[in-house]
Amino acid sequence: KGCKLVGCGSAVPSLSVSNDDLAKIVDTSDEWISIRTGIRNRRVISGKENLRNLAVEAAKKALKMASVEPDDLDLILLCTSTPEDIFGDAPKVQRELGCTKSQLAHDITAACSGFVLGLFSASCYIKGGGFRNVLVIGADVMSRFVDWTDRGTCILFGDAAGAVVLQACDAEEDGLLSFDLHSDGEGARHLGTPINDNENGSVLEFPPNRSSYACIQMNGKEVFRFAVGCVPQSIESALEKAGLTASNIDWLLLHQANQRIIDAVATRLEFPPEKVISNLANYGNTSAASIPLALDEAVRSGKVKPGHTIAAAGFGAGLTWGSAVIRW
Q: Active-site residue numbers?
A: 112, 255, 285
Distance CA 223, CA 46 (A): 29
Using the rule CB under 6 A, which residue among 136, 316, 322, 323 binds ligand ACO? 316
Binding ligand ACO by CB under 6 A: which of 94, 285, 286, 323?
285
Nearest-approach distance from CB 293 to ligand ACO, in angstroms: 14
CA distances from 215 to 52, 129, 183, 192, 275 (A): 21, 38, 22, 8, 35
Give 220's contacts (C-beta < 8 A, 6+ positions apart).
Answer: 152, 153
DSSP notation for 256-269: -S-HHHHHHHHHHH
- Provide, for the chain, the percentages of residues in helix, strand and coil under a 3-state DSSP scheme, each rounded to the nearest 5: 40, 25, 35
Give yes or no for residue 317 binding ligand ACO (CB under 6 A).
yes
Which residue has the CB atom at the shortest distance from ligand ACO? 316
- Round to whole Å and give the CA distance between 98 and 117: 25
Determine, following the binding rule CB under 6 A, whether residue 194 of this chain makes contact with ligand ACO: no
Contact call for residues 214 and 295 (beta carbons, < 8 A): no
The yes or no reply on residue 24 touching ligand ACO (CB under 6 A) is no
At a CB cut-off of 8 Å and minimum separation 6, what does 47 contact?
Answer: none
213 near ligand ACO (CB under 6 A): no
**Does 265 contact ligand ACO by CB under 6 A?**
no
Stretch that binds ligand ACO, among 94-102, 131-139, 151-159, 231-239 (CB under 6 A): 151-159
Query: Are the beta carbons of 161 and 289 closer than 8 angstroms?
Result: yes
The span of 31-39, 44-52, 234-242, 291-299 binding ligand ACO (CB under 6 A) equals: 31-39
Closest to ligand ACO by CB, 17 vs 218, is 218
Q: What angle do CA 167, 172, 173 make, to 5 degrees?
A: 35
The Cα 320–Cα 323 span in angstroms is 11
| CA–CA separation, 165 and 10 (whole Å) | 12
List the x/- string, 32-71, binding to ligand ACO by CB under 6 A.
xx--xx----------------------------------
Report, in Å, the least distance between residue 230 CB and ligand ACO. Answer: 12
Identified binder of ligand ACO from the candidate list 44, 66, 146, 155, rule CB under 6 A: 155
Q: Does 192 bind ligand ACO (CB under 6 A)?
A: no
Instruction: Name the segment binding ligand ACO (CB under 6 A); options: 58-66, 217-225, 239-247, 294-302.
Output: 217-225
Q: Residue type at 54?
A: L
Identify whether the C-beta of residue 87 lies closer than 8 Å to the C-beta of residue 117.
Answer: no
Under the rule (CB under 6 A), what is the footprint of ligand ACO?
Answer: 28, 32-33, 36-37, 111-112, 151-152, 155, 191, 218, 220-221, 223-224, 227, 257-258, 285, 287, 316-317
